[in-house]
Structure 1
């Protein structure tokens, strides 16, 4: 076998292994998301979320998460400007609130979980979720509430 052929075979094997790893990672995330969406409804004390809010967003972060503070929080602030009367954001420290972190299968920070008024999860965003994505998820819940 020539040197070129050997290198080509090694490259193909590496590509195959990387493809398998990516596929397995996606399957893991999809399974965790399904588990999070199937979680029992969350009841939030009225001091944290007023009854008028039809949508609550759990924003998981940590003190040292740069993306949480520079990207996710501004996106949530923009969403609140647009839908503040219908939406409440509940900040959750993923490093200390292990019960919620486990309930919603948080893999990374930032993670946002979009809940309806009854506390049922409708969307789980692992990693940064931009304003447009959050807006679409909130609108879906608000449209369901009107129907």
Structure 2
């Protein structure tokens, strides 16, 4: 009985350490992009942008993330650029941003620098808050439930 309890505790510690390492790695990736503009030529600079990444087989991308991005675009109108990109068509960006799942969203400031990377579904209210903060916020990353 004690052996099983120790095994469960060891597994829990290993999972927590792995999650912590993933969080640190993602934060490092976003900070490294803070002074770059990886979307130059794809997304026009001059105003904040929200880019959604999806894949052809991603149901959550179509049923949840796309409507949230449409709602955000309608709410903020011309104050923000909203685009959806097919992740398989931009493997360099997916790798550079450390995107591990779809849907994923990226929030850019007006200069085109990456400020937030969200893994998994992110609602319109959260994205609107991130867009509102891009002028004042340091680069950050947020992890949602990793779904495909």
TM-score (norm 2): 0.79
Per-residue displacement from partner, 1:58-92 (whole Å, max 9, x unpaired)? 21110101111111111111111111211112222
Alignment pair present for 1:140 and 2:136: no
What pairs up with 1:1-147 in 2 under 5 angstroms? 7-39=1-33, 40-45=36-41, 49-50=43-44, 54-141=47-134
User: Which whole-Å CA distance do the structure 2 matches of 1:99 and 1:64 have between them?
Assistant: 20
How much has 1:36 moved relative to structure 2?
2.8
- Give me the CA root mean square deviation: 2.1
Q: CA deviation at 1:142?
A: 5.4
* CA radius of gyration, larger in: 1
Q: Is the CA contact (8 Å cut-off) linking 1:37 and 1:124 kept in structure 2?
A: no
Partner of 1:3: none
Residues 19 and 132 of structure 1: is their aligned pair in 2 closer, same or farther, counting only changes over 3 Å?
farther
Distance change (3 Å), C-alpha of 1:128 and 1:37: farther
SS of the residue 1:95 aligns to? helix
| 5+ residue gaps, structure 1 | 1-6
Query: Segments of 4+ in structure 1 off by > 4 A?
Result: 48-51
Q: What secondary structure does 2:89 align onto?
A: coil
Q: TM-score, normalised on structure 1?
A: 0.80
